[in-house]
Amino acid sequence: MTLQNLDTPARRARGLPAPPLRAFLSRYSLVIAFLVLWQASGKLGWISPAVLPPLDAILGALWTGIASGALVDDIAISLQRAGLAFGAAVGLGIPLGLLMGQLRPVERALDPILQLFRQTSALALYPVFILLLGLGETSKIFVIFWATLFPTLLATVGGVKQVDRKLIEMAESYGAGRVQVFRRVVLPASVPAIFVGLRLSATTALLLLIAAEMIGANKGIGFQVMNAQYNFQIPLMFAAILLMAALGLAANAVLVLLQRRLCRWSLD
């Protein structure tokens, strides 16, 4: 037991949250330390600022990029690519997953081919997609869609299949038919598992976005990372990387918020 939580039981008993400042510090102190170390190492000359620019230079580059509108275009096109791919993956993955989880024959027929596709790296297939779909937007969105589909699809199938048989039988004993069992038991019971898949898919979409934009793009955050490095605009490169991290965090935060609203029953 640390000194810090010696006085917390009483607070917890009264249902009070920890004071905001302390809660913030206990959660983010390592992040803050990391950022301070980063800033200091550049300023104190531990690492050459040409390789690792101090934070203020990076934030400066970020600000200039956004204020001048140059980075705004990149953000917009990247969001569009990742968003379209993610939307398509979710739009196909959830219904298909529900179907596969419910109907054994559908799952048996589709499972081998999906396993084969899943085990093949999407990046390895990117050249194939380029050959088939050209070097434009379609192949980029498709490769992101491809990699993003599987986490949501497989999590949905898993969620449906692990629904408690006893709950289904309970519903049937009250006379629920297939549709009612699905709507009132299977679907709500699968929601937490589906969200696990959605969060994985969102992460995957951003990972693939960068990779796709590094090959044969002339716009986008991923392109900026490569381009800035090529032109020795190292602060700008880090600014683009920072932007990516922020996008990932924001996407995750939105999904967590949505999950809290939809699955209040499963959370504390």
Partner 1 sequence: MTLDTLGDATARGAVSLRHLTKSFTLNGQPLPVLRNLSLDIRGGESLAIVGPSGCGKTTLLRLLAGLESADGGQVLIDGAPVTGVGTERAVIYQEPRLLPWLTVLENVAFGLEVRGLPRGAARDRARRHVRLVGLSDFETAYPRQLSGGMAQRVGIARALAVQPEILLLDEPLGALDAMTKLTMQEELARIWHEEKVTMILVTHDLEEAIFLADRVLVLSADGTPPAVIPVDLPRPRDRNTGDFVRMRRMLMGRFGLH
The secondary structure of 162-216 as a DSSP string is TS-HHHHHHHHHTT--HHHHIIIIIHHHHHHHHHHHHHHHHHHHHHHHHHHHHTT
60 or 192: CB nearest partner 1: 192
Stretches 82-90, 122-130, 171-179, 219-227: which one binds partner 1 (CB under 8 A)? 171-179
Is residue 176 involved in binding partner 1 (CB under 8 A)?
Answer: yes
> Both ends of the chain: CA-CA distance in Å?
23
x/- site string to partner 1, residues 190 to 229, per CB under 8 A?
A: -x--------------------------------------
Cβ–Cβ under 8 Å, residues 240 and 225 = yes
Number of residues located near partner 1, criterion CB under 8 A = 20
b/e 34-47 (16+ beta carbons within 10 angstroms → b): eeeebeeebeeeee
Using the rule CB under 8 A, which residue among 6, 174, 230, 232 binds partner 1? 174
CA distance 84 to 258: 19
Which one, 112 or 264, has the nearer CB to partner 1?
264
Residues 97-117 as b or e (16 or more Cβ within 10 Å = b): bbebbbeeeebeeeeeebeee
Q: Judge whether 157 and 93 are in contact, CB under 8 Å.
A: no
Residue 263 contacts partner 1 per CB under 8 A: yes
Task: State the minimum distance, in angstroms, from the CB of residue 193 to partner 1.
Answer: 13
The answer to whether 232 contacts partner 1 (rule: CB under 8 A) is no
Among 98, 122, 185, 236, which residue sits at the site for partner 1 (rule: CB under 8 A)?
185
Shortest Å, Cβ 262 to partner 1: 9
- For position 173 contacting partner 1 by CB under 8 A, the verdict is yes
What lies within 8 Å, CB to CB, of 207 at 6+ separation is: 147
Residue 188 in contact with partner 1, rule: CB under 8 A? yes
Residue (114 or 189) nearer to partner 1, CB: 189
Q: Quick one: which segment of 1-9, 184-192, 215-223, 252-260 binds partner 1 (CB under 8 A)?
A: 184-192
Handedness of CA 109, 111, 116, 120 (dihedral sign): positive
* Binds partner 1 by CB under 8 A, chosen from 167, 211, 214, 226: 167
* CA proximity to 159, closest of 188, 194, 185: 194
Note whether 176 and 184 are within 8 A (CB).
Answer: yes
| From candidates 60, 184, 196, 233, binder to partner 1 by CB under 8 A | 184
Least distance in angstroms from the C-beta of 188 to partner 1 = 5
CB of 252 to partner 1, least distance (A): 23
- Comparison of 60 and 188: residue with beta carbon closer to partner 1: 188
**Residues at the interface with partner 1 (CB under 8 A):** 166-167, 169-176, 180, 184-185, 188-189, 191, 263-266
